[in-house]
Amino acid sequence: MTKRALVALDQGTTSSRAIVFDLQGNMLAMCNEEFPQIYPQPGWVEHDPKQILRTQISSLQRAVRRSGLHPEEIAAIGITNQRETTLLWRRDTGECVHNAIVWQCRRTAGEVDALKARGLSDEIQKRTGLIPDAYFSGTKLRWLLQNCHLQEQAASGVLCFGTIDSFLAWHLVSGHPHVIDATNASRTMLFNLREQRWDEKLLEMLEIPEACLPTIVDSSGVIGTLDPEILGVPIPVAAMAGDQHASLFGQACFHPGDVKNTHGTGCFMLMNTGSQPADKTGGLLSTMAWRTGGKPQFATEGSVFIGGAVIQWLRDELQLIHTASESEAVAATVPDTGGVYLVPAFTGLGAPWWDMYSRGLLIGLTRGTGRAHIVRAALESIAFQSSDLLETMAEDCGFKPTELKVDGGASANSLLMQFEADIMGIPVVRPQVMETTALGAAFLAGMGVGIYASPEETAQFWKRDLTFEPKMPDAERRERLQQWHKAVERSRKWAEET
């Protein structure tokens, strides 16, 4: 049967999705299934691994049915995933020993403080490109081994550590390969970025047995075939990449200086830095872009922990809106926030602040403040945080990008995109296919089975939809940013023990 399609499994923080694309990158079908968030304590976030697996398999099966294609027409499957989220399972049964500890979880802040107190921050950043933070997988794995009393089992090879890509590959691919791609490995705080291997000193530092770690593979390349019980045929699984790296690929950011911002649960801005990692990061991270044919491509990254999640917060916790899409219409009923600023530091602040102890702040309230002002302030907080990332990148590289490519669910909100262009002072470009994370995973899978000869061959399929030009006067932009930074400072160190 002729191969006509590629499938991306996009396992995210709040839902599992599967998207079917044709070979030109057009979306043929999609299925999305949400799963519960678990909050055992303030600042702690977990997922049920069984729910992750169940929703991912179900969304894959439903998306393929909706596409009208026979599974034999699918050339390859690519996996992209929420990064840093940490799982530990038994090698013999695949059963996880604990819920997944989500990237947002702050439970290991004390462990990170201890590393910093030992003067290890510079050493960790030099080796990994990362700033020590509870965000990354290393201390989460350390917590699991210590608190679940699993050190000996991990050392004996009984247990498998992995991020979500590893977990899905082990459970979905015949033969249970225990692998992780280079982009996800680069988010563990255990991976030597320049040497492209697990770092012995870091493993010793965190008391992580190498026997529980997966094999590091390229982002593009066949790792095995899908268990035929899932779709009835053994389809090659030919790509794995963390969601932000897949998005950078899907946005055709193939040249140094190309930059994109993904608006998902968080916001993640990545700039391609070429064949060498950036030395100066100014509060940003140096990380993988992707690795193909054994050759690494690097990026600098800024991470906003609460982006689109603030809209979910408005919907689920405050119940100010009924649906996420309603936020734009509600915000548009007022011309501005009336002086209200929301700092959504619900799980601390990411780049460029890296404050694990910041907490959410709503300030500037008056008797006239209403629902619409708070909703608008929540949307603007996404743009303000993203602006801080772009400004830091510009300072590091010595130039400001001429445009910013955007994607992810919240990028469909035109009011937000216009404010982002206004507060950054550069055009914001939205592509026709906004599911560029999944698209990148699909294209990487296509490369893995030889449909595309190079990344550049996929660039012809990227198409511009709308460009939002900045309209805000410079004086107003400076004033709004100044007020935002005042609000951020008041949120800092709130949860720090005295």
Residue 475, in any domain of the structure: no
**Residues near 91 by beta carbon (within 8 Å), at least 6 away in sequence:** 157, 158, 159, 160, 178
Radius of gyration of the chain (CA): 21
pLDDT of residue 281: 62
3-state secondary structure of 335: coil
For the segment 7-13, the average pLDDT, to the nearest whole number, is: 95
Q: How far apart are CA 70 and CA 172, in angstroms?
A: 19
Neighbours of 463 (CB within 10 A): 11
Q: How far apart are CA 411 and CA 308, in angstroms?
A: 9
Q: How far apart are CA 302 and CA 270, in angstroms?
A: 7
CA neighbor of 393 nearest in space, from 287, 247, 293, 235: 287
**Residue 193 pLDDT greater than 80, yes or no:** yes
Of residues 205 and 9, more confidently modeled: 9
**Residue 497 pLDDT greater than 70, yes or no:** no
Cis peptide, bond prior to residue 352, ω within 30 of zero = yes
Query: Structural domain of residue 196, as residue ranges?
Result: 5-243
For the segment 303-315, the average pLDDT, to the nearest whole number, is: 89
For the segment 89-110, the average pLDDT, to the nearest whole number, is: 93
Helices (H) and strands (E) in the chain, counts: 17, 23
What's the domain count of the chain? 1
For 329-361, the pLDDT digits (tens) are 999 999 999 999 999 999 888 878 888 789 999
Residue 199, in any domain of the structure: yes
Residue 5 bridge partners (DSSP): 22, 74
Locate 93 and state its tokens: 């049964």
Residue 357, in any domain of the structure: no
Q: Could you please report the per-residue DSSP string of 198-220?
A: E-HHHHHHHT--GGGSPEEE-SE
Residues 357, 496: contact at Cβ < 8 Å?
A: yes
Residue 377, in any domain of the structure: no
Q: What's CA 39's distance to the chain center, in Å? A: 20
Residue 302 bridge partners (DSSP): 269
Q: How far apart are CA 87 and CA 183, in angstroms?
A: 17
pLDDT of residue 186: 96
Whose tokens are 């005295």? That residue is 498
pLDDT of residue 191: 96
Q: Which CATH number covers residue 223? A: 3.30.420.40
Residue 168, in any domain of the structure: yes
Tell me 294's DSSP state. T
**Residue 229 pLDDT greater than 80, yes or no:** yes
Residue 299, in any domain of the structure: no
For 312-326, the pLDDT digits (tens) are 999 999 999 999 889
Of residues 497 and 161, more confidently modeled: 161
Q: Could you please report the per-residue DSSP string of 345-383?
A: -BTBB-TTT-BTT---EEE---TT--HHHHHHHHHHHHH
CA neighbor of 111 nearest in space, from 139, 80, 83: 139
CA dist 165 to 80, 108, 233, 369, Å?
A: 7, 22, 21, 44
**Residue 498 pLDDT greater than 70, yes or no:** no
- CA torsion sign for 466, 458, 285, 345 is positive
Q: What's CA 419's distance to the chain center, in Å? A: 22
Residues 72, 233: contact at Cβ < 8 Å?
A: yes
Locate 459 and state its tokens: 């660039």
Tell me 99's DSSP state. P
Q: What's CA 459's distance to the chain center, in Å? A: 22
pLDDT-based confidence at residue 284 (cuts at 50, 70, 90):
confident
Residue 376, in any domain of the structure: no
For the segment 3-23, the average pLDDT, to the nearest whole number, is: 94
Residue 52, in any domain of the structure: yes
CA neighbor of 200 nearest in space, from 276, 266, 123: 123
CA neighbor of 299 nearest in space, from 281, 291, 287: 287
